[in-house]
Structure 1
Amino acid sequence: MQLYNKLSAQERAQLLDDAGEDRLTLSFYQYAKIGNPELFRNHLFVAWDQLEVLGRIYVANEGINAQLSVPATRFNEFKNFFDGIFFLEGVRLNVAIEHDTKSFLKLKVKVRDKIVADGLNDETFDVTQKGVHVDAQKFNDLISDPNTVLVDMRNHYESEIGHFKGAVTPDVDTFRDSLDIIEEDLKEHKEDKNLVMYCTGGIRCEKASAYYKHKGFKNVFQLEGGIIEYARQVENLQLENKFIGKNFVFDHRRAEKITDDVIAKCHQCGEACDTHVNCDNEACHLLFIQCTSCAEKMDNCCSQECKEVNALSYEEQKALRKGKHNSNKIFKKGRSEVLKFKI
């Protein structure tokens, strides 16, 4: 019984090209008490591998968080299996605005301590005691109210390329960093303001809304389905779109265009640009924003040093990396002293 992916990304990409089939990019999450995450993880892998599902799935005692790519012709099979899991039946599937047959190239199902790392160690905190979910219309009404504080629960590199007008966008690297910062900034308004939050698909807001209720905030709301579902409802219902720019996504597409506004700039030259790339130097791999002109000039690298390393042969690069730990920049998102125009 196969329990792990055995194909490389290159091999899978070739198979997808050969198949020439449409695929749907989906995401979902559900907080639930899972007694044996490892057993559940194996059950998912076996079933989804047979359905040719690809993606990144995290399973923990507190629930499941998944981003997937499913063959369009096998969606009904996938949905039948999905609904057959008692705590997932009826859970909303966020369908991507823009599809890509190569949004994911492997099936990775991993057991984690938590599906959203929060740094919390508070046994009295109950993640299921969430705030009020609101649809796009109610969300628009709430954020038009001067008594509302709108908070982006995503990280700096996500809000940099797109966010809701008037939102507080904390300059943080991780979700756990934002929890205490927001509480401290808004502590005087626990009872007299509406605290409205949003994120990509809803999972971070779900935990954050429960956390802020736990901390004494009285009027806590979250955008149901996050930016992904908001964009869909705005289009289908012809509502006013209060989001500007792109929605950052965690797959090979990196972003979905919500509006034509370009609110970010190239980190190397400062020109208007909102395209995230990874530095071509495998020892760096820094995520940053780079325009086509700088990409050509810098050979898709973030710095002159990386450009010089990247010009070496594979064996020479391998020798340079030997005995060294991964560069911190591999795990960084848009933060480096070499980026002159990072906001």
Structure 2
Amino acid sequence: MSVVFSGIKPSGELTLGNYLGAMAQFLTYQEEEAYFCIVNQHAITVPQEAAELRQQTRRLAALYLASGLDPEKVTIFIQSEVPAHAQLAWIMTTLSQMGELERMTQYKEKAGGLNESIPAGLLTYPPFMAADILLYQADVVPVGDDQQQHLELTRTLAQRFNYRFGETFKLPVAAVAKETTRVMSLQDPLKKMSKSAEDSGTILLLDSPAVITKKIKRAVTDSENKLSYDPESKPGVSNLMAIYASISGLSYAEIEQKYADIPGYGQFKLDLAELVVGLLEPIQRRYGEIMAGDELDDMLTIGAQRASRVANKNLHQAEYAMGLSRR
């Protein structure tokens, strides 16, 4: 049985892209020893309103459950409720080199326009992420393409620790989401659908059926009016087809054949909207039940306790190897 770890930041509203690219993938690991974390400490690398962060954390935990994760099979918990994450993060930070952290693509992108007001947390985010993963001796980490560089640093830091202090950490491998699950903006298909963008290019998991349908109807396509998958010359249509394929299970060729005799994109968009609504409606219904009930707090308390037992054991082994113990 493999050990799996992954987490999502509770910042912004979750999108269809988050579900297809991450949460739907989580469901395939429920027979493994899996840890799914709400990484709220990563969210504070940029300023957050306390009440909003608290609410977003609960909403994300509820969506974990509503999406189908079974707390009897997997461990769902909030990062800040397991102090070992921050403790191992400091250790990983001391093993990191400034050059390594400054070369991180996400750091350069996010810090680019901040001049001298760059939060130090943006720089030290990667070793904290490494600590999250190594703390559970994860074998597999489901990640998107934009996180692979961080996972490579995680492996580097684990190797560095093992070389200096003896074999302690496993070297995790990435489980990259399938190409069809990479959901781009409906209005700018060259950019990823962002959970911080509340516009017509983003489908939120909690959008109403009417709003979802409206956004898909207005999605950017092209003037060719022929359904075919070609990300380079037809990025808008190809993005919609990727969403359709992910939900329906049909191949691109099968989708093209299905609409070969239907001119324009109107019917295709209507059918896609129906697919998306059908996917999200039961999640939204279950989410409402969870938020109105008492099970969420009980689940998170048990999850934090379960995660802490494993995390503390591995943290103490690392501390002992480094000499951070009296005996």
Q: Which has the higher helix share?
A: 2
Instruction: Please state which structure has a larger fraction of its residues in strand.
Output: 1
TM-score (norm 2): 0.24
Q: Pick 1 or 2: higher relative contact order, CA cutoff 8 A, min separation 6.
A: 2
